Amino acid sequence: MSRNSDLAWKTDSLIKRTSISHQIARYVLSMEYDSMPPKVVHTAKRILLDTLACAVAASKSPGRPIIENTINALGGIPESTLFGSGKKTSVLNATLLNSYMLRYLDYNDVGGGGHNSECIAALLAVAEREHATPADFLVSIVLSYEIGERIMESIPGGKRGIEAKGWSFDSRAGLNMPPAIGKLMGLNEDQLANAMGISGPFAPTLGVLDTDLVECRMVKNLRFGFSAYQSILACMLAKGGLTGVVNVIEGEKGFRQVVVANEMDLNYIVDFAHWYILDSTSFKGYCMNYANHGGIQAALNLVEKYDIKPEDVEAVKVKTNARVARHTTLVPGKKYARNTENATHSAFFSVAMAIKERNVGPCQLTPDKFEDPELIDLIEKITIEEDASLVGTSNRGAIVEIRTKKGNCYSERVDVPPGHSSTPFSDEEIEEKFRKAARPYMDDNQIQSLIKSVWELEKLDSVEELTRLMVWKEI
């Protein structure tokens, strides 16, 4: 090798190590359980308990048997546990099913650059396969949130900014999941960077999976899960020596250029001086797209304060943010929902349900509700309109006006719904969310054991002690 070629290759190697992927890899390798503040650890546990509630509540999702049948046909090494049945299957199969269940009811949190709690399906499956410690599993959750938030917030407008380009914000999964998964699998710096460079080019997710003019379908619930599945493969391949494009974010025709038209602050991604998991995570009290929660809360406040019955209602006006107004009103299937995926994105359905049943939980998202004549009658009395005064109210605010047949008109405004990061749920409220979700499927002893196991996760001998508790049947 000539002196010039030797110098060129050494320079190339040094340049590669300045890539965003390599910088993230070094951040990942530097993070250990003992280096995380107690509040960060506790937040990860809150996220875990809330997420497991979402999975249990989705037990009757129609896609679950479809995916389980596919998994049975595929077979696989028994290395990770399926939620519900407890069957052991491959880490990839478990990720596929468990991801679907976590997302089905749109009950999971908002944080980490999106609904990042979907990361838990893959991370738990990998931790079980790798016999990782519960403490290491918690570290992987934090890493996924921290990297995911940085990637999305590096884009002007964040989640809405990438959606404006035609992509889903879950496009981040191919970038924030390989580092978190790779940490559990013991990858070194080069392997972590290569894993991002293997998964990242295939991960951008089309916005058609959740957009204003297209009805939502079952596949929406795998939007993050497919990329997480792919990220596990990427880590396995990278650990075996397969190389990827390590400058997948900033390189020519990389994520920054192709996905967001060069509108990305790379310095934001690699500024690791802040714990974003602490102030960017919100929890949901209702099974509904989070933008609708202000309207739900306002309607609930009115019907409870004035004891308004469905038969009392003459008309309902919902003033809301631009996204809810567009997302709900442009397609008939969003107004008259006939599946859960559309119902969870419908301001019509959610406000009507709040008035009729004074709750919007798992029990309100069953097939019989979609054809309930009383509910449909209420839906037809609702109008939705955009209100510019609600801009900046956490993007969840709404004003609901109910006019009764007696001529009374009541109005309620909610700027920030309960569970928002600025008005967070208490630990007890998250526990109660889990209890309500699990009671149809678990007895009180199992419920309490699982809650205790999450709060004391580091004391468990293995994560399998937790996955064994995520097995249930209807009782």
Distance of alpha carbon 179 from alpha carbon 16, whole angstroms:
17
pLDDT at 12: 63
The residues spanned by each domain of the chain are: 3-278, 290-414
Residue 393: its pLDDT value, please? Answer: 55
Other Cβ atoms less than 10 A from the Cβ of 448: the count is 13
For residue 155, is it left (φ>0), alpha (ψ between -120 and 50) or beta?
Answer: beta
Among 1.10.357.10, 3.30.1330.120, 3.40.50.300, 3.30.590.10, what is the CATH number of 290-414? 3.30.1330.120
Pairing of strands 80-81, 88-89: antiparallel
Mean pLDDT for all residues in the chain: 94
Q: What per-residue confidence (pLDDT) applies to 15? A: 64
pLDDT of residue 250: 97
Q: What is the mean pLDDT of residues 337-341?
A: 94
pLDDT > 70 in the chain, percent: 96
By residue count, the chain amounts to 475
In sequence order, what are the beta bridge partners of 411?
401
At 10, the pLDDT band (50, 70, 90 cuts) reads low
- pLDDT score for 390: 84
Give the Cα-Cα-Cα angle 373, 378, 382 (nearest 5 degrees).
145
What pTM was estimated for this model as a whole? 0.95
Query: Which tens digit of pLDDT belongs to each residue from 55-107?
Result: 999 999 999 999 999 999 999 999 999 999 999 999 999 999 999 999 999 99
Q: Answer whether residue 21 shows pLDDT above 90.
A: yes
> What is the model's pLDDT at position 473?
87
What pLDDT is recorded for position 1?
61
pLDDT in tens, 182-236: 999 999 999 999 999 999 999 999 999 998 888 999 999 999 999 999 999 999 9
Q: Give the rounded distance of the alpha carbon of 59 from its chain centre.
A: 17
Whether the pLDDT of residue 241 is over 90: the answer is: yes
Residue 325 parent element (H or E)? helix 322-329
- Hunting for tokens 């403490």 — which residue is that? 135
Whether the per-residue pLDDT at 443 is higher than 60: the answer is: yes
Those residues with Cβ within 8 angstroms of residue 263's Cβ, 6 or more apart along the chain or in another chain? 155, 156, 161, 256
Amino acid at 58: A
Pick the CATH number of 3-278 from 1.20.200.10, 2.170.120.12, 1.10.4100.10, 3.40.720.10: 1.10.4100.10
Q: Which residues does 448 contact at the CB level (< 8 Å), separation at least 6? A: none
Q: What is the residue-wise DSSP string for 424-444?
A: PPPHHHHHHHHHHHHTTTS-H
